[in-house]
Amino acid sequence: MTGVLTRTPLHRVEGREKVTGSASYAAEYHFGDLLHAWPVLSAIAAGRITDVDTTEVEKMPGVVQVWWHGNAPRLADVGMPMLAVLQSDEVHFRGEIVAVVVATSPEIAREAAGLLTVTSVERDHDVDLDPGNPAVRTPDTVNAGFAGLSEKGDPDSVFASSPVRFDETYRTPAEHNNPMEPHATTAVYSAGELTLYDSSQGGHPVQQLIAGALGLPTERVRVVSTHVGGGFGSKGLPRPNVIIAAMVAVQLERPVRMVLTRQHQFSLVGYRTPTIQRIKLGAEPDGRLRSIDHDAVVQTSRHAEFVEQVVTASRMMYAAENRRTRHRVLALDVPIPSWLRAPGECPGMFALESAMDELASEVGIDPIELRIRNEPETDPELGIAFSSRNLVGCLRRGAELFDWTERDPRPGVRRRGRWSIGTGVASSTYPGYAMPATASATRTADGSFLVSINGTDIGTGARTAMLILAAEALDVDHSRVEIRIGDSDLPRAGVAGGSAGTTSWGWAVHKACRELVERLTELGDAADRTGEVTVTASTSADLKAREELSRHAFGAQFAEAWVDMVTGEVRIPRMLGVFAAGRIVNPRTARSQLIGGMTMGLSMALHEEGVMDPAFGDYANHDLAGYHIASCADIGSIEVECLDEQDSAINPLGTKGIGEIGIVGTAAAVANAVYHATGVRVRELPITIESVLRVPV
């Protein structure tokens, strides 16, 4: 650990509570008389539920209520099909909730759910992501509001006339969200007030959507998410657990808890679509790009459209006059895909950064040099300036730390016993998003400070970052400041998503604290007599007043691969990430975020794969026995360094966000290292024994 990551680290303020078990997560709020809800999932991928026979199950001691579409309370349509639970007889995908059992213990609810007789009529399902399917189409817009298609110049004819033409297809599988804490809600309804203790990345969307669905005034719904055990995007919006818990609590007027199991998570909380990506690069013999064409085919669910923005990073990474980036989507009878850490950039940069490595080999140029030769001066598509862009700095610093200059570019020539050894590099990027936020800062009568904002700490260290920023703006010691987050009663702020938490909430916190200091100065001696002084500040107008710029964080990922040429086993003993992500507020938690992202990127490279069973119409592996994620034994050394960057065009703090960039490019760095080790180019993730040994499967 060197550079900016060694400065003023602060332990997580809630660390002691978490390790001693006193920190309450959503399923850890206790009430007498508590009920438990358990879902029954559809065993067919498409069709209709014709009957649910509840008579036997209702006789079981402890069973309080069984709901299915035939008797469940009606919900208002809030435009989010994932929340329209038990509202129709239609089955949209295998693993959809078709009934809910409410009982006095989770064991009884689970047993009853297993005994319920569900009768259905099946229709043919289609779960095959076939790019040749005539129903494949280019949507106008994709996730986060990006254009489905974007073109500049004449990519086709320039590609056709380019001295070097590269054209390959890459594939990534479905990847499933597996935060440590599964989705959970404890709901309490009393005197017309609904309180939801919910494992969420942001309480305000939950409050608004659940109130809307139940027809309650928004201010009668309170969402508390004090501690959250990870989300990766899957908790960015309310999921079925919260609407069911809310519905039960309101209807039965009793507290209720609903906790999804690991298996339930695979169909109910969103996952990353599989992708099929074709990349065409037209280049000069010296590696300079003349054209970039990136086409991605993804799936969505017939039940609700979510199109991952796979090709957006290719719109700004490298210079080329002629470019086309296009999404194509096929709606299938599959669970609804959604956000998973760096939606878009993560799978897209696997393809683009693999392709850049292949092009480097083809033209005989070092892959770092190739990227430097294609560094744009301004955003190559929008023609506007970057707020700051230190990709080259990251690549150069990484090359230094990873001994890149010593590297022999030839693939497949370094052997140690059965092991073939190689190294790889890939660029990384993530947008520098910011969302409007409001915070309040109070000087209390006893002279301490209280800062409040409805941000959420999903394990990132956001609460601690807020504390650092507040203490700094107030110019007082951390010990005099208390931070309150994770409650919809607090000032409004956006979700912990888009790597924009600290940037957005920190900005509002900074502003409120500075204004409080000014107010106290104005009041002078009177401040002491006034007792409590509170200032509330919003960043909405500041955000709108920002200049039009292309705002992104950048990074360089390095990996060393050892491949056993007898068994095909791939090991990654060493990874390095160098990032330029604006100001790093708390080096300790920042390092954790970045190595966490890189670990997840390694997991994507070597392990993670949702395997679709076309007969059942569902992912066959839906637990952690069948769906593999990286564990401690898979990880060797991971080093992270952050460049000293401050980007005041993002916000007055100069932060860019670090939640997602760590996973971007990692898989390409690993695949590129595997190629350098073995001479085998793997274009389909995960990198399996069969793919390395080129065994047909």
Catalytic residues, by residue number, are: 660
Which whole-number Å values give the CA distances from 17 to 12, 22, 24, 432, 490, in the listed order? 10, 5, 9, 32, 22
Q: How far is the CB of 661 from ligand MOS (least distance, A)?
A: 11
Using CB under 6 A as the binding rule, whether residue 497 contacts ligand MOS is answered as yes
**Stretch 379-408 residues interacting with ligand MOS (CB under 6 A):** none
Minimum CB distance to ligand MOS, residue 570 (Å)? 27
Question: Contact between 236 and ligand MOS (CB under 6 A)?
Answer: yes
Judging by beta carbons within 10 Å of its beta carbon (0-12, 13-18, 19+), is residue 296 exposed, middle or buried?
buried
| Nearest-approach distance from CB 510 to ligand MOS, in angstroms | 22
H-run or E-run covering 362 = helix 345-363
498 is an interface residue for ligand MOS by CB under 6 A: yes
Which listed range, 18-26, 338-346, 621-629, 645-653, lies at the site for ligand MOS (CB under 6 A)?
338-346
Compare residues 44 and 237 and give the one whose CB is closer to ligand MOS. Answer: 237
Smallest gap from Cβ 184 to ligand MOS, in A, equals 17
The dihedrals phi and psi of 166, each to the nearest 5 degrees, come to -120, 135
List all residues 6 or more positions away from 539 whose beta carbon is below 8 Å from its beta carbon.
434, 436, 437, 438, 504, 507, 508, 511, 651
Instruction: Closer to ligand MOS by CB, 233 or 665: give it.
Output: 233
Residue 391 CA to residue 265 CA, distance in Å, equals 36
Radius of gyration of the chain (CA): 26
Is 507 among the residues that bind ligand MOS (CB under 6 A)? no
| β-strands 438-443, 449-452 pairing | antiparallel
Rounded to whole angstroms, the Cα distance separating 509 from 492 reads 12
Q: Which residue, 95 or 494, has its beta carbon nearer to ligand MOS?
A: 494
Q: Does 203 bind ligand MOS (CB under 6 A)?
A: no
What does each C-alpha distance from 673 to 361, 592, 635, 685 come to in angstroms?
A: 13, 24, 15, 14
> Shortest approach of ligand MOS to residue 232 CB, angstroms?
6
- In 3D, which of 53, 43, 55 has the Cα closest to residue 97? 43
Pick 345 or 641: Cβ nearer ligand MOS? 345
Whose CB is nearest to ligand MOS?
Answer: 233
In the complex, least distance from residue 659 CB atom to ligand MOS, rounded to whole angstroms: 6
The candidate with the shortest Cα–Cα distance to 670, out of 573, 579, 564, is 573
Binding mask 615-654 for ligand MOS (x = CB under 6 A): ----------------------------------------
- Selected from 152, 294, 303, 341, the binder of ligand MOS by CB under 6 A is 341
Contacting residue, 106, 233, 422, 455, with ligand MOS by CB under 6 A = 233
Of 24-32, 148-156, 211-219, 227-235: span binding ligand MOS (CB under 6 A)? 227-235
> What's the min distance (Å) between Cβ of 350 and ligand MOS?
16
Which two three-digit tokens encode residue 206?
């939950």
- Sole window of 232-240, 463-471, 544-552, 621-629 interacting with ligand MOS (rule: CB under 6 A): 232-240
Nearer to ligand MOS by C-beta: 309 or 374? 309
Listed in sequence order, the DSSP H helices in 568-622 are 587-606
The rounded distance, in Å, linking the Cα atoms of 3 and 642 is: 7
**H/E segment holding residue 90:** strand 90-91
* Nearest to ligand MOS of 358, 660 (CB atom): 660
Of 339-347, 380-388, 509-517, 677-685, the segment contacting ligand MOS by CB under 6 A is: 339-347
Residue 23 structure tokens: 């920190």
Q: Does 148 bind ligand MOS (CB under 6 A)?
A: no
Segment 288-327, which members bind ligand MOS (CB under 6 A)? Answer: none
531, 533, 534 from 520: Cα distances, Å = 11, 8, 10
155 or 236: whose CB is closer to ligand MOS? 236
Which residue stretch of 219-227, 337-345, 436-444, 558-566 sits at the interface with ligand MOS (rule: CB under 6 A)? 337-345
Question: Residue length, the chain?
Answer: 697
Total binding residues for ligand MOS by CB under 6 A?
A: 12
Instruction: Please enumerate in sequence order all residues whose Cβ is within 8 A of that of 474, keeping only pairs 6 or more positions apart, or say none.
Output: 441, 449, 480, 481, 513, 516, 517
Could you say whether residue 339 binds ligand MOS (CB under 6 A)?
Answer: yes
Q: Tell me the closest approach of the beta carbon of residue 664 to ligand MOS, in angstroms.
A: 12
When the beta carbons of 433 and 507 are compared against ligand MOS, the nearer one is 433
Task: Give the nearer residue to ligand MOS in terms of CB position, either 269 or 549.
Answer: 269
Report in angstroms how near the CB of residue 458 gets to ligand MOS at its nearest.
Answer: 8
Can you name the residues that pair with 535 across neighbouring β-strands? 441
Measured between alpha carbons, how far is residue 210 from residues 74, 85, 88, 97, 207 in Å? Answer: 13, 12, 18, 17, 6
Rounded Cα distance between 546 and 542, Å, is 7
Give phi and psi for 167, each to the nearest 5. Answer: -150, 105
Chain contacts with ligand MOS (rule: CB under 6 A): 201, 231-233, 236, 339-341, 343, 497-498, 660
